[in-house]
Structure 1
């Protein structure tokens, strides 16, 4: 009996050791969890490249236009937990607040860490640029897609001229460079090789011209030999200074755009409340879905938020994970988001993901 007891004890110890070793093994997965939030209307202190402390507004404008708000417009992030062991992966998997995904989805093996960081930084900067364009349009400053160069051998030579502003393609309004590409692609797909009708503003007068779009090596419809550039006036001096945040990706676009409009508006768009939200935005002000929505609603709730601006296409996933007490306000455009905030300020009931 004593020998049998010793055998059982040794077996239990071996099983415990093997279990501990298994749970301590690193796995090829990462955990996605709630990350920090940042008020786009606040000031931040960080060290510049020379190691000196700087305090700046995340969203700023020229002093004569700049206004202050009592509330907050907070962007929200997802924190990636990398190099995790099996035990922690199991904990994340069992938790409603986390997601566990293959590591290669976040860190592709064919890309270096530097390349991944550069892509995130590029998306972050593009998000800021699109937000500024959308915000300025909301403030009445339209985008003019302007011809900057026509090559001597371009098929459009003689039809298009430098400084022409392209205002329509086959009667459809051109509101951005992105929209121009979409309209050219649609026209090319409908009638390959056929000319399309452009309306251009030349010296203050509308002029109709015919040009033939082609696809470039990236599959984007272009006017061969023609360079265009979106031009938009910015009388407010809007600027984003975000070096100290260490954040990447496109999902802050909606909050950036709202903060820009708020910064130069006499009215406090927040109504004194703390507003948290997310959403990619394009130059036309359309709000698109983002990743990690389940973790972001948890982060918003942990921050004490009562309302969360949610891209319409994220509503289904957000509802499945929404904590008690957090209202998911559904938005699909910048203009729509501003109207929902107005409804909140007036004490009304905004459109939610449940309606």
Structure 2
């Protein structure tokens, strides 16, 4: 065949058979491609929903300790003269996803990496590998209850109000012998009639019993003494009641702090300021919205906390103009202060009190120390 020759057409029967073969080969291809693509999409979607070992921290609510939370007054004081106040003293919180009992997906982690208001950490950096949700909840409860007691004590120290040291039930393990028998906040007075001076002393009194042996614990609850008898549990060959004891105080007034299911110790400084505010004439904040964070020790030292960046953002978004930050967190604070929020560095309760008073008098924190000064 030359260049000008035309190809000889195939006979009609052969052409029909060839077309049928082509159709048989080509028709299934789009269906196969669509099916494969759908399968890939399902796999990708499924992978995006699988839990991953990361924790994502987001700004949580900023809660005015002088006001209400979940329709309940946060701070109530009975048995002492209190005073009307104004303004806000906000405790700040962090929402943590991905801890024990909770999961996050690759999509949530990816969003957290690119969202400057969030932080992403490997789970093992924040939680022991074998820690359960129940253990985490108990830890948070214990830290919150002991923090509240310590915060009240620091405020009363500042006011020169005397009180006595006690040992209290700070938390109860799920399924423990003490569950349903003792309550958080119970003050321990004796174990089988024997008194002890501190937490370690009462722990030793229980541990001296044989596992399974009954123990009678005398507690003070709602200003009433009561005896509670229960069998001890065997924990690695030692008698236990499944309670966590903490340092408590017998105050000359009834001070209650209620913040729902919020846990942890980081609200201590703001609790102390709120108690001081209600027990003194006038508004400590001068009507300003002051937020902050920081643990509080028995001697009034403000300690470092986690999630400081998220707490500053949450405070700003809640309308706070001023923020009290632990000096120990200044490395994380410096250069990360949200626009519109003046951040003051404090190391002690006295410094937090002075800062709040200065803000009330001047309406600014310009003269107060910042993390950039450190």
Place the TM-score, normalised by the shorter chain, in its bin. Answer: 0.5 to 0.7
Structure 2: 5+ residue stretches without partners: 1-24, 167-197, 200-245
Q: Does residue 351 of structure 2 align to residue 350 of structure 1?
A: no
| Alignment equivalent of 1:61, drawn from 77, 85, 101 | 77
The aligned runs of 1:71-220 (5 Å cut-off) are 71-82=87-98, 83-141=103-161
Q: Please state whether the residue corresponding to 1:131 is helix, strand or coil.
A: helix
Tell me if structure 2 keeps the 8 A contact 1:143–1:231.
Answer: no
The aligned runs of 1:255-270 (5 Å cut-off) are 255-270=270-285
TM-score, normalised to structure 2's length?
0.63
Tell me if structure 2 keeps the 8 A contact 1:135–1:258.
Answer: yes
Superposition deviation, residue 72 in structure 1: 0.9
Q: Root-mean-square deviation (CA), in Å?
A: 3.1
| Alignment equivalent of 2:291, drawn from 269, 273, 276 | 276
Tell me if structure 2 keeps the 8 A contact 1:141–1:233.
Answer: no
Moved over 6 A (4+): 7-11, 143-146, 229-233
Structure 1: 5+ residue stretches without partners: 47-54, 147-176, 179-228
Superposition deviation, residue 300 in structure 1: 0.8
Instruction: Judge which range, 7-16 or 324-333, deviates more.
Output: 7-16
| Alignment equivalent of 1:40, drawn from 65, 90, 96 | 65
Q: Does residue 255 of structure 2 align to residue 239 of structure 1?
A: yes
Pairs aligned (count): 263
- Residue of structure 2 equivalent to 1:303: 318
Superposition deviation, residue 142 in structure 1: 5.6
Once residues 284 and 27 of structure 1 are traced to their aligned partners in structure 2, the CA distance between those partners, rounded to angstroms, is 41
TM-score, normalised to structure 1's length?
0.66
Superposition deviation, residue 342 in structure 1: 1.5
Q: Please state whether the residue corresponding to 2:276 is helix, strand or coil.
A: helix
Tell me if structure 2 keeps the 8 A contact 1:142–1:232.
Answer: no
Deviations 1:203-234 (A, max 9, x none): xxxxxxxxxxxxxxxxxxxxxxxxxx999774
Once residues 346 and 290 of structure 1 are traced to their aligned partners in structure 2, the CA distance between those partners, rounded to angstroms, is 28
Superposition deviation, residue 29 in structure 1: 1.6
Q: Please state whether the residue corresponding to 1:346 is helix, strand or coil.
A: helix
Instruction: Judge which range, 137-146 or 85-94, deviates more.
Output: 137-146
Larger radius of gyration: 2
Once residues 69 and 83 of structure 2 are traced to their aligned partners in structure 1, the CA distance between those partners, rounded to angstroms, is 17
Once residues 60 and 145 of structure 1 are traced to their aligned partners in structure 2, the CA distance between those partners, rounded to angstroms, is 21
Tell me if structure 2 keeps the 8 A contact 1:35–1:78.
Answer: yes
Once residues 12 and 232 of structure 1 are traced to their aligned partners in structure 2, the CA distance between those partners, rounded to angstroms, is 66
